[in-house]
Amino acid sequence: MVNNEDTILVVDDDRVARTALVRILELEGFEALGFADGAAALGYLADAQAPCLIVLDMRMPVMDGAAFREALLKEPRLAAIPVVVLTAYDASAASELSVLRVFTKPLDIEAFVKLLHENVDSD
Amino acid sequence: MTKLSITDELTPVALLAAIIDSSDDAIVSKSLDGIILSWNRAAERMFGYSATEAIGQSITLIIPSDRLAEEDYVLGQIRKGSKVDHFETIRQTKDGQLLDISLTVSPIKNERGEVVGASKIARDVTHRKRLELEREELLAREQSARVRLTEAIGARDEFIAVAAHELRSPLHAMVISMHLLRKLCDDPAAMPRVIELIEDLKRELDGFVSLLERLFDVTKIQTGTFELHREPFDLSQLVDQIVGRFSKVHPAISLHVESRIEGIWDRARIDQAISNLLSNAVKYGANKPVAVSATVAGETAVISVRDEGRGISSEDLARIFDQFERVAPRTAADGLGLGLWIARQIAERHGGTISAQSTVGKGSTFTISLPLRTK
């Protein structure tokens, strides 16, 4: 089992946004891993230790953000992981997913990083 | 000079006769067997039979054959001493014309109070009926316009939501990349990643601009300011160039073009329409070969793009060129469902057509036909 209790997962199908965000998180002192859809992230989580936070896009192919969140909540080991949603739709669309915070795209990076530092211990 | 009153001039019977004769409503009397006994001038005008022709005939003279049963009902009521009030029906004139009339039939009684016949007052309501019909038609038209308007507003709102999403996504990627770029600029070792980011940014920006262009195209088409800038050029050469561009991202594109297909078209718009078809073929073509051809059939240049992807159902084919329509689910790929609609506008504004044939599971062929000569 991978020890990644300090890891943040970034689940977003937009390659450019995902890879850049992963690098930004690394520069902020977090461990970060990117996944292109909910199913890929869920596959990873099956064998890995729970990460400290998940950054989740809503509209993705294969398994979208809502379906992924639902799958997390069904699994007691994963249900408590804090989730931050990034959506290009109205924030209200994700209001029923019981997440830590919903950000709309384009992301307010300062506010986002501040929230992470408040909720996650970085190295 | 003394003025005489009407009652001085006429006896009561003559007065009644004068009133009946000057009425605009047809006033007819008939026996209990339905034989016409009197027929005023308005009846002559309304039904076309003179009094001489009508009197002595059966009242069925003016009843259309499919309404003969009505007479039995009316006579039945009269025999019972009842009145038939404002009964709306249809009667037939001498020349076969059908009139909408409102009928009031009252029993005529003798001195002993026995019913001996019936008086019948008929008013031509054809004009009123026509107005009513027109009103109903207008109302139905207004209601269907309202339904169409509600649908259009719904489609527009959905379009705005999707457009906002499509604009926010590349903006997000650009904002994040810019932020990272700023951070990496301090680290000389990060130069390869910086170059990569700048290239990503350029692609995102190009996508963003092309999306904006499509949105502007929609506005131009809808406000009637979408104009063609025609120039003479060789279509085979253009198709060759477009395929060259797409071959960089999708190597399996075969090309068959006739040499020199000269015409006067809007080069940039034709490029846009063909590029849209090719982009769809690459996006939905399941990474299988795509075949492009440009040929001449009579007076028409025919460009076709064939893919071997999942194909389109006949139901979807019917609406694929409509505004805001797309066959793929919104979550599966980017897009506003505007490309084919704009391609159709481009083809049609050139006096041409765009069409699609498809077999589910086997692939689709999109064809643009353009007249070689401008009309």
Mean pLDDT of chain B: 87
Tell me the per-residue pLDDT of B314-345, one tens digit each, with 9 for 90 and over: 888 887 887 665 544 443 344 556 788 889 99
Cite the beta strand spans of B195-311 per DSSP E. 231-234, 253-257, 262-265, 290-297, 300-306
Residue B333's region, left for phi above 0, alpha for psi from -120 to 50, else beta, is: beta
Pairwise CB contact (< 8 Å): A61 & B333:
yes
Mutate which of B176, B179, B202 to disrupt the A interface (most A C-beta within 10 Å)?
Answer: B176
Quote the pLDDT of residue B329. 44
Quote the pLDDT of residue B365. 94
ipTM value, please give it.
0.90
What strands, in cross-sheet order, belong to the sheet with B115-124? Answer: B36-39, B26-31, B115-124, B98-109, B84-92
Quote the pLDDT of residue B252. 87
First to last CA, chain A: 21
Residue B32 has pLDDT above 70, yes or no: yes
pLDDT along chain A (123 residues), means of 10: 70 92 93 93 90 91 87 90 89 80 92 90 62
Of B164, B175, B183, the CB nearest to A107: B175
Tell me the per-residue pLDDT of B251-289, one tens digit each, with 9 for 90 and over: 788 999 888 899 999 999 999 999 999 988 988 887 889
Quote the pLDDT of residue A3. 44
Residue B55 has pLDDT above 90, yes or no: yes
For residue B172, the chain A residue with the least C-alpha distance is A106
Task: Return the CA Rg of chain A.
Answer: 13
Q: What tokens appear for B323 in the block?
A: 């505004």
- Lowest mean per-residue pLDDT among B13-17, B54-58, B326-330: B326-330
Q: Average pLDDT of B174-190? A: 91
First to last CA, chain B: 84
Taking contacts as CB-CB distances below 8 angstroms, the residues of chain A near B172 are 14, 17, 86, 88, 105-107
Q: Which residue has the tokens 């996006």?
A: B283
Q: Average pLDDT of B242-253? A: 87
Q: What is the DSSP string of A35-81?
A: ESSHHHHHHHHHHBPPPSEEEEES--SSS-HHHHHHHHHHSHHHHTS
Residue B7 has pLDDT above 70, yes or no: no
Pairwise CB contact (< 8 Å): A23 & B193:
yes
Residue B3: pLDDT band (50, 70, 90) is: low
Quote the pLDDT of residue B2. 57
Asked if residues B279 and B339 have their Cβ atoms less than 8 Å apart, the reply is yes
Quote the pLDDT of residue B323. 67
| Number of neighbours of residue A110 by Cβ within 10 angstroms | 9
Cis omega (within 30 of 0) on the bond before A106?
yes
Quote the pLDDT of residue B190. 87
* Element holding B28 (H helix, E strand): strand B26-31
Q: Which residues of B touch A (CB under 8 A)?
A: 161, 164-166, 168-169, 171-177, 179-180, 183, 193, 197, 200, 203-204, 330-333
Pairwise CB contact (< 8 Å): A61 & B171:
no
Mutate which of B169, B185, B193 to disrupt the A interface (most A C-beta within 10 Å)?
Answer: B169
Q: Average pLDDT of B16-28? A: 89
Residue B17: pLDDT band (50, 70, 90) is: confident
Pairwise CB contact (< 8 Å): B197 & A14:
no
**How far apart are the C-alpha atoms of B138 and B127, rounded to whole Å?**
16
Taking contacts as CB-CB distances below 8 angstroms, the residues of chain A near B330 are 59
- Lowest mean per-residue pLDDT among A49-53, A119-123, B147-151, B353-357: A119-123
Pairwise CB contact (< 8 Å): A104 & B168:
yes
Asked if residues A33 and A50 have their Cβ atoms less than 8 Å apart, the reply is no
Q: Average pLDDT of B7-19? A: 81
The structure's pTM equals 0.60
